[in-house]
Structure 1
Amino acid sequence: MSVTPAHLRTLADRAEALSAEVRTVCDSVPEESPEHEPLTAARHAADWLARGANDLRSAATDLAKLQAQPCGLPWAVCPEHGNTLSSQAGISTCRVCRRTWNYSRPSQPCPEPVTWKVVDQAGTETRMCDGHVLGARAAVANATFVRLYDGSGAF
């Protein structure tokens, strides 16, 4: 079986639901009841399940990044602002957010994950990242833009 980010998120949801159910059961026992103290271990288990759910979500995000196809267009962009980079002495800087990269990003193939499918009037399909879509929306008339997923692996 192949593990997917969606599978890990489903497991995280189940762990979170089970944690909530255990807490509800434990909280239904009054503190003065003799059964209250033995439920301490169950409360700890609920905490572990909640932490496990968070770890599963984190693993899903990491797996999605590993499985994501890079945009690969021949010039890189700021992932948030698009074609807003300037480069000097091997340092690239976004002119909007001032984020920097320690290499000449504009001359590198784009490493950002593919999140969009763009189909132009002639039917040519190009897959690209969020940053490149910003420029494509302004430059490509009558194109169709289809969101593939949000970069976290969620389709």
Structure 2
Amino acid sequence: MNGLTAQGDEVSDRPRVQSRANLRQFSTPVRVDEVAVAAMTLAEDLQAATRSLPESVELRRFRRELDQAATTFRETAARLEATAGKLVRMAANEGHACGVGWGVCPEHGLTLMNVGETVTCHVLGCGRENEGAVERCEHPVAYRVVDAAGPTLLTCSGHAVACRLYFDNPVITAAADSMELF
């Protein structure tokens, strides 16, 4: 298979290491949170579609069905957000490692950061990929960082500070408090 190894439902050209397993574990709550956002967006779209229907006796039943579907998606989104929050807190409480990888862009300095398996420069317009090995952080997860330009990251304290310096208006919350709905 040309040096590729199958791991679950993904194929990777890198050997599996402990920090990568931690990253996969963290991607689950992030994906669950993204699905929750998609469900909420769908609920809002259904509500907008319902409002755009003309008022008529014939369409009243369909309006009710669309309203019920929107309510179901909102409730599902809330449950998914709560579950994702519990998963993040569990990872933080169990002392899982941060796993963020950083590197140096020859043009911009310490701006290379991993998002999944790709390590790229986060300076707007650069996007240069890392060519060398990247060390994964092994400090415990302490924060959840949300950046408008990329996915949610679960980081240690040091990388949360670095994200604050290098990201555009990141939202940083303590992992123990992440995604609380009440």
For normalisation by structure 2, the TM-score amounts to 0.40
For normalisation by structure 1, the TM-score amounts to 0.46
Q: Which has more radius of gyration?
A: 1
